[in-house]
Structures are given as C-alpha cells and as structure tokens.
C-alpha cells in the first residue's frame, strides 16, 4: 500500500484485531504521522459485522478527537481510503512502554525491572491521565504497556480507545468475548465488562506499576516490595496491597486518591553497585567492538553481549577521568563527549552531528564517531541511577548507536532503563560521540 487517502505511506507499523497502523507523511509539509485504518480480522467481522465495526471505529476516533490533555493520544484527522475504509490520523510517537519494558506476547515471562525513579515519573502521568478520563466518564478498559506510548520528551500518552466505555456507550460483542487483556484485567471486568467503573482502570494501572518495579505480575497472596528490595519501605507494600484488591470497594476509589498516595511514596538510599567487569588480569584495557554492524534481534545477544531483555550480561567497571569537555575511560580506552546533543535528532541527523564535530575539530579531535552498542553499554549504571558513569556526563536518556537493524531501523540504548533497543531511523534520540584514545 502506497497511499491512504491523501497520505503517503512509509510502512506498516503493526496490526491488531480492529485495524492496522501505518507510518505516513502529510503531503507538501512532509510531517510524519501515524494512521489507524479499519482493517479487522475475519473472525471479528463474523462476530460483529462490518457496520458495527465501522461504528465502533468511528466512535473511537470521535472520542480521541475530543481530548485536550497532555497524557492522551488525540485524533487529528478522519477520512476514508479509496476502498471506503475509514481511517484516522494521530501524532507519530516512536516509543512504546511495552517494548521499553521488554514485555512479549508470552506475558508470563519476566519483563525488565524499571528503576523506581522512572516508575514514579511515569506513574504520576498515567494516574493523572486516568483522573481526566474518569472525570469525563470514560473508562479505558484496556490499560496495559502496549497501549501506552512515550514521547521524545519522556511523556506518557495513553492510546487505543477501541474498548473504552464512554458515558455508558461502549464496544460490545458476544458474551464470551474478552474485553481487556489477560493479567491486567480486574475480576469484575471479566464477569461483566459493561458495568465497570474507573476502579477497573486503577486495578490495571496497579498491575502495570508493580510489573515495572519487579519485572513480574503480582502474585495471589503478597505484594511486599520491602522484602525484596531495600529501596522500598512498608508504605509501598500498603499502596499495592490496596491498589490490587480484587474487591473494587477495597481499592482506591478514584484516580485522584490513588495519585495522591502514589505521589507521596519515597525511596531509601540505593546500595552500592556490584557485578561489573574490570579488564582481564594483565590486560590494560577492555577492548570493545568499534565497527558498525547491521544485526537482527536474534543475533544481538552474541554480537552485543546482552541477555534476553537486551541488557549487558556483564557491566563494565569504568575508570573515568574528566578532561574538560571530554571524559576518558581508562578501562576501555575510549574518549567520550561530555555533553552530547542539546536536542534529540534523527539517525541521519546523528551522522551529520558527528561530521560537524570533526569539521570543527571539537576538542582538537577529528576522529569522533557514533558509538557501537557495546561501547554505549559500557556507560550503563549497574543498579539505580546515581551509581556510576552518569555522574560524569550530561544526562542523555536515549542515545543512538552506529549499529543498524535492517533498512529502516537502527539500534539505540535507553540509558534511563539500561537496555539496547531498535527504533525507526526517523525517531529522535540524542548523540554522545566517542573516539578511541591515542596510544
């Protein structure tokens, strides 16, 4: 497909039960947007019929078009393609919380543990968005990581309102059809999805927050974070014990109430980082791959030295020294730019930035380049932020590497969450240039 309506299609981003999502360009001004096209599976058409699906799809677009809140995705345009299928246009956002957490379709598998400071940041935004929705009589009914996007400014935006209950009007199907996602859906929604209220979304949000902090889904009996991590005191246990109650009457009764308790949570001082790797005995430096590669995800564990969640198997123990606008790492023999880009750029912009550094002989050096994933990972902290290399650098949350992932994507490192990931080359990340130290 080359075009949907007046929009030029770049490529398809994904497909769900109701429709397909595409990356596209607005004509003339070449602005990148996302388009959701009604493209249901055969089973859904058989169950609901084309007229009902069109009604649901249009209702979703109208709901999203009315939003005026920073933590919600909004619909910007609505039209039909040449086949008469409706579509709506949204802002294109690169990051998805599900991908950032490393949650797969095998939901029972562990996901990445996210630093508590980041979870507090995201949790406040999520609950503020739910407070707005519930105030306007909108129950999302499908809060899960894949339905939460993250902007280049690190702002959450809830998307996918196809299952939302809006002032009593909602997506509905056969009694046997599941509304919501397994493991995130509260028990009352599984029994009678048409009669739930905002407390159903709050349960789903609590599951999400717990999973971010632990990498696991909450168990049936205990939610005691204080027993497994010294960062958390008993107030965290009390919060999740209440938030994850199966009885809605025993939970937080509003998003505002839950947000107030969540925002009041605090953290203890982190302990020391452990488990990092010095250069081998008798080896003055730890050599890291410096040449770019084009590598698929299945080979990344071997090439990058990462585990199944794309985190380094053995972090590097840096020996850093500040040298004006540069930082030298005696453990790896690398010179790093201390500041990096002021604003995030595309992958092409990253290469242009490095070329500009070399033309200007930044800090007297003409050998600046984009780092490999292996080199970037050497700067990751082993534990909570505040322990390690980041103390020497201007914080850059997401940083491009020189490594590619096929034709349209490249590898980057999420420095906040400590993993390597893949993004479209038109996404915006920062650059921290590197050079090999002179012998």
- The per-residue pLDDT for 284 is 66
CA distance 349 to 433: 13
**CB-based contacts of 98: which residues, under 8 Å, 6+ apart?**
144, 145, 146, 148
- The per-residue pLDDT for 16 is 77
- The per-residue pLDDT for 384 is 45
Fold type of domain 297-436: Mannose-Binding Protein A; Chain A (3.10.100)
- The per-residue pLDDT for 175 is 59
Summarize the chain as % helix, strand, coil (round to 5): 30, 20, 45
- The per-residue pLDDT for 276 is 57
Instruction: Give start-end residues of each CATH 3.30.200.20 domain in the chain.
Output: 3-91
Q: Where are the beta strands (DSSP E) in 63-187?
A: 75-80, 86-91, 95-96, 138-139, 148-150, 156-158, 165-166, 169-170
CATH architecture, domain 3-91: 2-Layer Sandwich (3.30)
Given its phi and psi angles, is residue 187 left (phi above 0), alpha (psi -120 to 50 degrees) or beta?
alpha
Is the CB of residue 57 less than 8 Å from the CB of residue 42?
A: no
Neighbours of 180 (CB within 10 A): 21
Catalytic annotation present for 142: yes
- The per-residue pLDDT for 219 is 74
CA of residue 416 relative to chain centroid, distance: 11
Fold type of domain 95-263: Transferase(Phosphotransferase); domain 1 (1.10.510)
- The per-residue pLDDT for 385 is 43
Catalytic residue of the set 39, 81, 99, 142:
142
Instruction: Give start-end residues of each CATH 3.10.100.10 domain in the chain.
Output: 297-436
- The per-residue pLDDT for 324 is 87
In this prediction the pTM is 0.88
Coil/strand/helix, residue 65:
helix
Instruction: Give start-end residues of each CATH 1.10.510.10 domain in the chain.
Output: 95-263
- The per-residue pLDDT for 172 is 59
Residues of the chain scoring pLDDT < 50: 274, 383-387, 439
């Amino acid at each position: 497909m080359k075009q949907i309506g007046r929009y030029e299609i770049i490529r398809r981003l994904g497909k769900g039960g109701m429709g397909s999502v595409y990356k596209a360009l607005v004509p003339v001004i070449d602005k990148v947007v996302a388009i959701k096209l009604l493209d249901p599976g055969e089973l859904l058409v058989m169950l609901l019929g084309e007229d009902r699906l069109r009604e649901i799809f249009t209702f979703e677009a109208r709901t999203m078009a009315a939003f005026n809140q920073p933590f919600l995705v909004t619909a910007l345009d609505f039209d039909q393609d040449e086949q008469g299928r409706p579509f709506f246009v949204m802002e294109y956002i690169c990051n998805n919380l599900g991908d950032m957490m490393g949650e797969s379709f095998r939901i029972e598998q562990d996901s990445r543990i996210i630093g508590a400071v980041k979870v507090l940041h995201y949790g406040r935004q999520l609950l503020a968005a739910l407070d707005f929705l519930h105030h306007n009589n909108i129950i999302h009914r499908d809060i899960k990581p894949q339905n939460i996007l993250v902007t280049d400014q690190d702002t959450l935006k809830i998307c996918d309102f196809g299952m939302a209950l809006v002032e009593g009007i909602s997506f509905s199907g056969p009694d046997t059809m599941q509304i919501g996602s397994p493991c995130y859906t509260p028990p009352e929604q599984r029994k009678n999805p048409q009669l739930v209220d905002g407390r159903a979304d709050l349960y789903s949000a609590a599951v999400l927050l717990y999973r971010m902090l632990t990498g696991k889904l909450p168990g049936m009996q205990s939610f005691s974070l204080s027993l497994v991590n010294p960062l958390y005191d008993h107030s965290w246990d009390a919060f999740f014990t209440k938030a994850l109650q199966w009885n809605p009457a025993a939970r937080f009764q509003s998003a505002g109430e839950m947000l107030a308790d969540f925002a009041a949570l605090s953290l203890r001082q982190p302990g020391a980082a452990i488990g990092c790797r010095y250069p081998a005995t008798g080896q003055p430096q730890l050599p890291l791959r410096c040449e770019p590669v084009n590598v698929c995800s299945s080979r990344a564990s071997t090439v990058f030295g990462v585990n199944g969640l794309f985190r380094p198997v053995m972090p590097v123990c840096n020996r850093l020294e500040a040298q004006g606008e540069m930082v030298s790492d005696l453990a790896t023999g690398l010179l790093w730019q201390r500041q990096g880009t002021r604003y995030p750029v595309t992958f092409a912009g990253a290469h242009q930035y490095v070329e500009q550094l070399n033309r200007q002989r930044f800090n007297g050096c003409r050998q600046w380049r984009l780092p490999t994933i292996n080199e970037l990972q050497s700067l990751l902290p082993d534990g909570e932020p505040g322990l390690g290399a980041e103390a020497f650098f201007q914080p850059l949350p997401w940083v491009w590497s020189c490594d590619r992932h096929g034709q349209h994507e490249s590898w980057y490192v999420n420095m906040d969450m400590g993993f390597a990931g893949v993004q479209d080359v038109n996404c915006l990340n920062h650059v921290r240039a590197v050079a090999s130290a002179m012998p």
